[in-house]
Each structure stands twice: as structure tokens, then as C-alpha cells.
Structure 1
């Protein structure tokens, strides 16, 4: 019985081998903190393309999900923040990438809701803006004109206040970074690296975890995420967090 519940895989390449062209993939992390960098690198080598990626941002130029952007593997992005990723902005404005902007809190709840079988929910975030009313550029033509606008969303009044309907997200795959995992899939995240990772784990129909450490068992009262949401675990060892913007202040003479 113990081996049947063992969710570890020996190879990071095997962990992502069945991610197919056109798949939707939810990816944990915020900026460069808590991103499943090794899984992203393995997916890049695997070669799946035409991907829909659901993530707060798409890494930076040359790091994290920015690598998949460089290789033109992402066709649609659902996220909150372009940030300082110049290639992300370039592909969006040149018509190579479709972008669906979503407020950060709404994105987290859409992922969590999808993983918990909740098809949609109402929120005040975005009420009175183009997010709810439609008209945000989702895709451009090469000449800079808009090829596709976002559509209006359903709204409803509760207790004399207007709310907008947001749909839950159920991704084909979820890619997650964890500090510790046991063989049953129970996870512990380290400090702010928890960020979107638990919600991504819930959202994925197949959730793949890169863990820094594997332990025999995590007590149920200590687990940040129960193993029911995890399908595969690969151990990658300690991971360093990249620096998104390095600022150096010169010392006064």
C-alpha cells in the first residue's frame, strides 16, 4: 500500500514528459520567488508548444517562464503582471501573444476555486473598469491595431453593491515549487515562496512538484497543502532565488 501511494519520480524529464502541445499549465511563483525553475527548464527541453500559461507573471528575460517565451512556446498568458520582462511586452504588442489580465487576488481565487470544484464566483475587484465591462486589448495585429478585445463579464447586485462574475481555472497541469515534500504528496512551503503555489497545486488536473527536500512523512497538522492535490514529486535540492532587479547604492566617501 505504501508504494502505491508513493508519488515520487526519479527523473525531472519523466515528470513533464506527457505535457502536450496546446496544454494549459498553471505555474507557481511570484516574480522569481517560489518558481518551479527546474520543471520549467525540463519543459523547455521537452518541447511542448502552443501553451496557455496561467501565472502571476512570466518570469524575466532569460529566466523562469521567460525561457519558454524566448522559444515561442507560449501562445496565451493569463496573469496579472508583465513586469520588467521586455520579451513578454514585445510579444504582446506585436501580436504574437494573447494576454488575459486578471487582478492578483482574483487570479489566486480563480485557481483555488477551480481546484475545489467551484465553477465561478462573484468579486468586487474590477467592477467599473474594462476588466468587467470589456474592451481591454487581448491581442494585437502586427501593425499595432487591436485584433481582439476582452469581453464584458456578468455582473450582479448583492446587498446594493455590484459584483463581477469570475470563472474558476482548472488547468491541465500545475507546476509547483515546495520546500519539503513527503512521498504521499504533502507539502511545506518556505516563507513567501508559498505565494501562488498552493492555489496552482489545487488547479492542476495533474500537479507536478519540484521539492527541495524529501522527508518520510509530514504531519497533517504541519502540512501547508495535503497530498490529495499532488500527483508527482521530483527532488531537485536547494534552489536559489534569482534577483529580478539588482540595485546597488554606492557608499559615501
Structure 2
């Protein structure tokens, strides 16, 4: 049975300054928002964050950015966040922009124990400058190293007490691959059920990848609300 933390503060208690964290989500969909808020309250700093993006100015990873807790971010998208733009332009934060598909594969490969792979994405651009390339079947490919993290913070809709996870719709995004690529995976979930209640064919992350669970309610904010005139 997996550890079920009594509070979000307890769930992230061993995360220290300088840690590398993978954080699930796409925009604000599927982010472990309460774990992020607990990190903001704890005040850990010099973090390396691996995530698709960095939230918005006042929510999600934007909270850590505002508190200047992030030293480096590896991401594919930096829009919707003015503070992110400001810190990147002033050199207050190191940003490693990565094509979205490449980022996903770097994480997936890390979880699978694959140290590196070749991809056509980025060939002939500044991304490939001073990087190793190789030609396969007449086409040039760029070598990319995989990614792992000290901790993966993810969101799932439901878990059982052995840590098996089920996600809700598009909240799957980066969460399943990050669950496999973290040395310690902490899952924020909406519900925990008894072992056997999840049908085996519905399980999307096996419990072997999950070390810690925390149950709670998410605000599930809308990133950009659009209404008719």
C-alpha cells in the first residue's frame, strides 16, 4: 500500500532547495495545483522545473515564478505569463525551450530507461547549434538526451491504495509519462478507492510508478475564458 499523506505540506515535506521537479499539466489542465501551492508556501528555491509551460501569473507554476523559487525551467511554451517573459528577458531565470513533441519524448524515454534518441525536430535551427546530428536513410536527425527528475508532481482523477491511477480526459497530457520519469512520484488525486475497485483495463498508470498519494479538491480554473458578445 502506498503512503497517503495527511496534508499537502506533508506530501512535499522532503523536497528541498535545488531539486529537479517534473510537474504535470497542459496550461492549467491536469496540474497538481495544491501540491504547487504547498511548494509556494514552503518556500523551497533554486528549483529546476520540467513542465509543458509555467502556468499563469497568479496560479499554478506562476506562483513559484512570482516567488522567484525557480532557477531553471525546461518547457515548450511560455505564453500566458507576463512574469515568465519578464524574468526570461532580464536573465533572472534560465529557460530551455524544447519542441513540445521532443519534450514529451525526452520524458517518456527517461521513464523507460532510454538515455537518448534521435529526432528530426529542430534540425537546421538554432536548437541544433553545436549539437550532435546524424544521418539516417538520407535524413538528418538531432540527438536529444532523455529527462528524469528527483520528484514528479502529477494529478489523477482516482487512485487505489496501491497507487494505480486513472486520469480524467485531457488531464492525461504529461501526467502519465512524468509519473514514470520521477524518482519519487507524488500524485494529487480526487478520490482514493480500495484495491480491486479499479477495473484493470482502465488503469493508466500502474502503482509501481507512484510512491505517495494525497487526496484533495482542485479549483480547476479556466486558463482563458471566452464568452459570446
Query: How far apart, CA to CA, are the structure 1 residues paired with 2:117 and 2:163?
Result: 28
**CA-CA distance at 1:205 after TM superposition:** 0.6
- What's the counterpart of residue 213 of structure 2? 233
Is the aligned partner of 1:200 residue 2:178?
Answer: yes
1:126 shift after superposition: 1.0
Task: Summarize the alignment of residues 133-212 of structure 1 with structure 2, pairs less than 5 Å apart.
Answer: 133=129, 152-212=130-190
Return the offset for 1:249.
Answer: 2.4
Contact 1:209 1:234 in 2 (8 A): yes
Per-residue deviation, 1:224: 0.5
Secondary structure, aligned partner of 2:39: helix
User: Could you say what secondary structure the match of 2:157 adopts?
Assistant: strand
Match of 2:223 among 244, 247, 251: 244
* CA distance in 1 between partners of 2:200 and 2:6 (Å): 25
2-structure distance, mates of 1:231, 1:95: 35
* TM-score normalized by the length of structure 2: 0.96
For residue 123 of structure 1, what is the aligned residue in structure 2? 119
Quote the residue 1:219 is aligned against.
199
Match of 1:90 among 86, 90, 93: 86
State the Cα RMSD in Å: 1.0
Q: Distance in 1 between matches of 2:119 and 2:30?
A: 27
How far residue 7 of structure 1 moved from its aligned partner, in angstroms, is 2.9
> By how many angstroms is 1:99 displaced?
0.4
Kindly state the Cα deviation for residue 245 of structure 1 after the two structures are TM-superposed: 1.8
**Shift in Å, 1:64:** 0.2
- Structure of higher CA gyration radius: 1
SS at match of 1:221: helix
Q: Does the 8 Å contact 1:220/1:226 carry over to 2?
A: no
Deviations 1:95-130 (A, max 9, x none): 100000111111111111111111111111111111
Deviation at 1:203, TM superposition (A): 1.3
- Which residue of structure 1 aligns with residue 67 of structure 2? 71
Asked if the contact 1:180–1:189 (Cα under 8 Å) also holds between the matched residues in 2, the reply is yes
The superposition leaves residues 145-174 of structure 1 with CA deviations (integer Å, 9 ceiling, x where unpaired) of xxxxxxx22111111111111111110110
Q: 1:99 aligns with which of 95, 101, 120?
A: 95
Would the alpha carbon gap of residues 220 and 83 (structure 1) be closer, same or farther in structure 2, given more than 3 Å must change? same
Conserved 8 A contact 2:185-2:211: yes
Task: Verify the 8 A CA contact 1:156 1:163 in the aligned structure 2.
Answer: yes
- Per the TM alignment, residue 240 of structure 1 is displaced from its structure 2 partner at its CA by 3.5
For residues 21 and 240 of structure 1, what CA distance do their matches in structure 2 show?
Answer: 27
